[in-house]
Structures are given as structure tokens and as C-alpha cells.
Amino acid sequence: MQALPHNYQVNASSSINHSVILTSTGLPALETDAPAEFGGPGDLWSPETMLVGAIANCFILSFRAVAAASKMDWEKIDCDVEAVLERVERVTRFTRVILKVKLLVNDNDKREQAEKLLDKSKSICLITNSMSAEVVMEKIIITG
């Protein structure tokens, strides 16, 4: 990892009645729009779905890092995320994030270690650590 601080830059561009195009140096452009819940078309990534996707992505990348550092072998991880958007004290914000994580490990003796690594991954995820929403995790560990 490079020394902190890290800086990330994205440009957003749009015209009236058109989607928003996100660009960042070296990355493909991403077409976005408002979600259906806010009157958008519902067929493009929205800021809300991108945030929820960032949570799932960050959690898995955090798990990969802690599992590698702990030298724990694993086969597959799935992370479904549900984020609840509410109006609280006249402010619309995400209030709760539920991580539904399913982890496949080969060795039944690794279940306890896997559970600890999942908990650690939740605690170091920089996206959820940057949010004020409550974050809960449901874990399923499968041995194969």
C-alpha cells in the first residue's frame, strides 16, 4: 500500500435530460442516473447503487487482504448488501447497512478463523467506516 493520504478524482458531466457520465483517469466511463425511486429510469447505476456496490466490493477486498495476511485458504465469498435509506430529522440518509456474507472454505477446522477474519474485514472496511449508518453482518460459513 502507498503511504497515506490517497487522493481519488472523478469528473461528473451531464446536460439537461441526459444521464451523468463519470470519468476518472485510466478508467472506462460509467453512465449513471437517478434510481427509479427518485424518478430516474432505473436501468443505470445510480449514486445509491454505486455506494451499496462500493460497500460490497470494499468488504470483499478487505476480506481478501486479511485472509492473505493470515494465510487462510478459502474458495469463494459472496456479499449481498442491503442499505436502508430513510428520512431522519429532515435529512435523507442511509441509516442501516446489512452485509449478508457467504464464505466457502475447504477445511472445517478453519471455521473459527474464518469467522474472526470476516469480523475483522467488517471492522476495517473503509467505505462503511466512512459512513454514519449502522452496519450489521449476517455470516454463513460453508465447508466443502
134: containing domain: 62-143
pLDDT (0 to 100) of residue 1: 86
Residue 53 in any domain: the answer is: no
Can you give the pLDDT at residue 144?
Answer: 80
Decide if 23 is inside a domain. Answer: no
Domain-located, residue 40: no
Note whether residue 122 is domain-resident. Answer: yes
Q: What is the DSSP string of 68-123?
A: HHTT----EEEEEEEEEEEEETTEEEEEEEEEEEEEEES-GGGHHHHHHHHHHHHH
Does any domain span residue 37?
no
Q: Cβ-count burial of 57 within 10 angstroms (0-12 exposed, 13-18 middle, 19+ buried)?
A: middle
- The grid cell for 5 is 493520504
What is d(CA 100, CA 113) in angstroms, rounded to the nearest whole number?
Answer: 18
In a domain, 57, yes or no: no
Beta pairing partners, 140: 102
Q: What is the pLDDT of residue 16?
A: 92
Distance separating alpha carbons of residues 19 and 38, to the nearest angstrom: 14
Tell whether 4 is covered by a domain.
Answer: no
How confident is the prediction along the chain (144 residues), in pLDDT tens digits per residue? 899 999 999 999 999 989 999 999 999 999 999 999 999 999 999 999 999 999 999 999 999 999 999 999 999 999 999 999 999 999 999 999 999 999 999 998 999 999 999 999 999 999 999 999 999 999 999 998
Give the domain CATH number at 119.
3.30.300.20
Give the count of domains, the chain.
Answer: 1
Residue 96 lies inside a defined structural domain of this protein: yes
